[in-house]
């Protein structure tokens, strides 16, 4: 499998307006945009030229100090400037509607991948293989990919500039988007709906592989399975977005720091207290609203279903080492 792919810089390739188009319908989007832009420039030039012409031709001079006649209307002119824009707008409408349908109706043979957004991380689940990844979406080239997306907390927006796809993720509701990549590589994924303090860090990578490399990636399974638990926990600290709320240096953040957390006494808003042992740490990840530490708000989403048992064990082992 090719491991030398580098995430494409949005400023590389492409043109002045867009990064490189690497999906089947991306060039259609660019072409319609360019057509509308050309019309805007054309009519802007015509209007400016006509304005300058009339300003010069009918300017006030010593020989012509007032208008010779007052024109109230011109039927031919009014019909012309009504019919031509109407025709152009209908062309844009039907052209755009055709592309809209193409972008929103996924082919029947699309590979489905489920996308879950939470503050501030993207999780990807592959139903046909059972694999789950965080912050990296891996797909084969020249294969339609249908993303079935949902949010567990607030409004997010999934955007891949190179694919020309963007769709909001709404809590308690599914939204879908599809694309077919035509070039292997790594491409940036953004959240483009302000979703809180670390919105700008809610990034992921789209990795497009050749069919053979993709099958090799699938066979390899979980790329983290060979990591020791504490090292996996350190990796998940970033991949799962824990870094956004929990510091490891003692700094107070949205959530309690992980430094010195293990075996410390935790006092809750209910007035009860508990030692932060293994069971408490596990419960905090799968049922974070059960016991809220005093001085903090209950804003942590549940990680039940998005963390495997091994991943939960790994995070616990990592917390144990942060003293």
Cα–Cα distance, 143 to 209 (Å, whole number): 10
Average confidence score pLDDT of the chain: 88
Q: H/E element holding 274?
A: strand 273-275
d(CA 20, CA 8): 9
On the question of pLDDT at 132 being above 50, the answer is: yes
- Per-residue pLDDT of 231-270, as tens digits, reads 888 888 888 888 888 999 988 888 899 999 988 888 888 8
Q: What pLDDT score does 243 carry?
A: 86
Residue 167, beta-bridge partner list: 158
- pTM, two decimal places: 0.70
Q: Which class is domain 229-321?
A: mainly alpha
Q: Residue 296 and residue 129: Cα distance in Å, rounded?
A: 39
Domains 1-223 and 229-321 share a fold: no
Q: Which residues contact 115 (CB under 8 A, 6 or more apart)?
A: 122, 123, 124, 137, 147, 148, 149, 150, 158, 169
The reported pLDDT for the residue numbered 7 is 66
Task: Kindly list the domain boundaries of the chain, sorted by start residue.
Answer: 1-223, 229-321
* Confidence check: pLDDT of 225 > 80: no
Cis peptide before 102 (omega within 30 of 0): no
Tokens 């599809």 sit at which residue?
178
Provide CB contacts within 8 A for 129, sequence distance 6+: 218
Note whether 204 and 122 are within 8 A (CB).
yes
pLDDT digits (tens, 9 = 90+) for 90-113: 999 999 999 999 998 999 899 999
pLDDT, one tens digit per residue, over 146-156 is 999 999 889 99
Which contiguous run of DSSP H or E holds residue 157?
strand 156-160
Q: How confident is the model at residue 49 (pLDDT cuts 50, 70, 90)?
A: very high
CATH number of 1-223: 2.60.40.420
Spell out where 31-110 has E strands: none
For residue range 164-222, list pLDDT tens digits in order: 999 999 988 899 999 999 999 999 999 999 988 889 989 999 999 999 999 988 888 76
**SS3 call for 24:** coil
In tens, the pLDDT along 9-36 reads 676 777 788 898 999 999 999 999 999 9
Decide if pLDDT at 223 tops 70: no
Q: Is residue 40 predicted with pLDDT exceeding 60?
A: yes
């Amino acid at each position: 499998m090719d491991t030398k792919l580098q995430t494409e810089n949005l400023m590389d390739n492409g043109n002045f307006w867009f990064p490189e188009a690497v999906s089947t319908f991306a060039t259609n989007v660019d072409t319609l945009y360019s057509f509308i832009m050309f019309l805007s420039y054309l009519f802007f030039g015509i209007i400016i030229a006509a304005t300058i012409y009339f300003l010069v031709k009918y300017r006030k001079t010593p020989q012509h100090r007032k208008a010779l006649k007052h024109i109230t209307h011109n039927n031919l002119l009014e019909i012309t400037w009504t019919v031509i824009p109407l025709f152009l707008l209908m062309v844009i409408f039907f052209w755009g509607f055709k592309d809209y349908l193409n972008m929103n109706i996924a082919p029947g043979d699309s590979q489905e991948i489920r996308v879950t957004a939470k503050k501030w991380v993207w999780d990807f689940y592959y139903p046909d293989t059972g694999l789950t990844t965080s912050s990296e979406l891996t797909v084969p080239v020249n294969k339609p990919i249908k993303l079935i997306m949902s949010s567990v907390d607030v409004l997010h927006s999934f955007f891949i500039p190179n694919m020309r796809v963007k769709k909001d993720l709404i809590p308690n509701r599914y939204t879908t988007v599809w694309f077919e990549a035509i070039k292997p590589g790594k491409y940036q994924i953004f959240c483009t709906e302000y979703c809180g303090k670390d919105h700008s860090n809610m990034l992921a990578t789209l990795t497009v592989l050749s069919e053979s490399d993709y099958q090799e990636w699938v066979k390899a399974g979980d790329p983290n399975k060979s990591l020791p638990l504490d090292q996996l926990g350190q990796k998940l600290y970033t991949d799962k977005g824990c870094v956004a709320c929990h510091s490891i240096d003692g700094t107070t953040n949205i959530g309690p720091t992980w430094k010195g957390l293990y075996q410390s006494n935790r006092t809750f808003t209910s007035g009860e207290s508990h030692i932060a042992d293994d069971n408490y740490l596990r419960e905090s990840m799968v049922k974070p609203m059960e016991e809220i530490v005093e001085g903090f708000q209950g804003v942590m989403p549940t990680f039940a279903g998005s963390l495997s048992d091994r991943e939960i064990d790994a995070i616990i082992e990592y917390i144990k080492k942060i003293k």
